[in-house]
Amino acid sequence: MRATRRDFLRIAALAAVGGLPALEACRGRDPNTVNFFNWFNYIGKETLPRFEKEAGIKVNYEVYSSEEEMFSKLKAGVRGYDLFVATDYMIPRLKAMRLLDPVPHDILKNLRRIAPRFRDPSYDPGLLYTIPYLWGTTGIGYNARKLAKPPQSWWSLWDERYKGRVSMLDNLRDGIGVALLLTGSPLDSKDPAQLEKARDLLLKQRGILKQYSSSTFVDDLVSGELWLAQGWSGDVLQAARENTHVDYVIPKEGSFIWVDSLCLIRGAGRRAEVLRLVDYLLSPEVGAEISNSVRYATPNAEAIKRLEPTLRNDPRVYPPPAVEARLQFYAPLDPEADELWNRAWQEVKIL
């Protein structure tokens, strides 16, 4: 779900000059190569080059721009991937499609470094199919120079004063989720009436929005093109490194907390090479490097000790108890609810 997706639109340019050998045309079956499917730049800049040098294993890093794109490719049987990152709410769908291989706990020596609170999630009890990678929250990114005062409520994204300066994530669970929150409905609702009410609220917002985007909103916050954006914590905090007027807030109504996990593709080859990469990513030093780079929280208990103090002590990254009490994990949707949510989202995006 996260990291500097603003750079996703630069992929074509990078590929043209050979900067991204991991694009689909380059995905091969070399037994000494691992194909890693992830968000753009959702990793430390030196993480993979150092692994390649130390292990003698090449990593092709191929990217997607949304969870739905990732799922569609895997569901369609696109071959060649060995390892990928998925958000918690996608895991039940991936398991139902039999797209995941079990996690070999006996081989991954660094799996023990995962903090206890992340070892038994509702979407994958016992971490049978997932390996926690990074976690974060969904909130509001804003450019303080453009606003009289910081936003406190999700309703600010419906404020006519900001028409054309507002962005929402191009993400089904975050989009419909905030509308359910504001209409007093449960986040795992499969009640058609509740979902219609959420859909209608999002439709009312359409005239105010500049865009639905999970990739360009960060650059637009930095430039001042956007004043308010529903966004993911680490993305917004990366923007804040470029423009100190950009900040991030969890609205008073509450919001969402999520975990992104490493997943093994069912039946993929190069098993030993893939597991060596996974264990490397789970090491405390590498986990800290990734978190420091992308500004998302790490589920690695040993890595936390190695974080930059400014990151480790940032309440926007590690929310204090009073804020965390307002955060909810997305509950898995059954097939019936999944269909209703997708239908409502398509109606919002198409109309």
Question: pLDDT by residue (tens digit) across 288-331?
Answer: 999 999 999 999 999 999 999 999 999 999 999 999 999 999 88
pLDDT (tens digit per residue) in 221-236: 999 999 999 999 999 9
Task: Say what the pLDDT of residue 91 is.
Answer: 95
pLDDT (tens digit per residue) in 98-148: 999 999 999 999 999 999 999 999 999 999 999 999 999 999 999 999 999
The CATH H-level superfamily of 138-256+323-350 is Periplasmic binding protein-like II (3.40.190.10)
pLDDT (tens digit per residue) in 20-37: 444 444 455 577 899 999
Cα separation, 214 vs 192, in Å, equals 26
Residue 153 clears pLDDT 50, i.e. is over it: yes
Percent of the chain with pLDDT over 90: 79
Residue 4 and residue 40 in contact, taking contact as beta carbons nearer than 8 Å: yes
Task: Say what the pLDDT of residue 294 is.
Answer: 96
Task: Say what the pLDDT of residue 15 is.
Answer: 37
Main-chain phi, psi angles of 303, to 5 degrees: -70, -35
Domains 5-135+258-318 and 138-256+323-350 share a fold: yes
Cα separation, 243 vs 240, in Å, equals 5
Which class does domain 5-135+258-318 fall in?
A: alpha beta
User: Given pLDDT bands bounded at 50, 70 and 90, which one contains residue 41?
Assistant: confident
Q: What is the mean pLDDT of residues 239-249?
A: 96
* Among 72-81, 85-94, 265-274, 302-311, the least confident range: 72-81
Task: Say what the pLDDT of residue 351 is.
Answer: 61
Residue 94 and residue 265 in contact, taking contact as beta carbons nearer than 8 Å: no
Task: Find the largest Cα–Cα distance for the chain.
Answer: 57
Q: Where are the domains of the chain?
A: 5-135+258-318, 138-256+323-350
User: Given pLDDT bands bounded at 50, 70 and 90, which one contains residue 332?
Assistant: confident
Residue 98 and residue 266 in contact, taking contact as beta carbons nearer than 8 Å: yes
State how far the alpha carbon of 243 is from the alpha carbons of 80, 137, 143, 215, in Å.
39, 20, 9, 17
Q: Which two tokens stand for residue 256?
A: 């969402």
H or E segment to which residue 39 belongs: strand 33-39
User: Given pLDDT bands bounded at 50, 70 and 90, which one contains residue 49?
Assistant: very high
State how far the alpha carbon of 216 is from the alpha carbons of 61, 106, 112, 220, 283, in Å.
20, 41, 36, 6, 31
Cα separation, 55 vs 345, in Å, equals 44
Residue 80 clears pLDDT 90, i.e. is over it: no
User: Given pLDDT bands bounded at 50, 70 and 90, which one contains residue 196?
Assistant: very high
Cα separation, 86 vs 204, in Å, equals 31
Task: Say what the pLDDT of residue 334 is.
Answer: 85
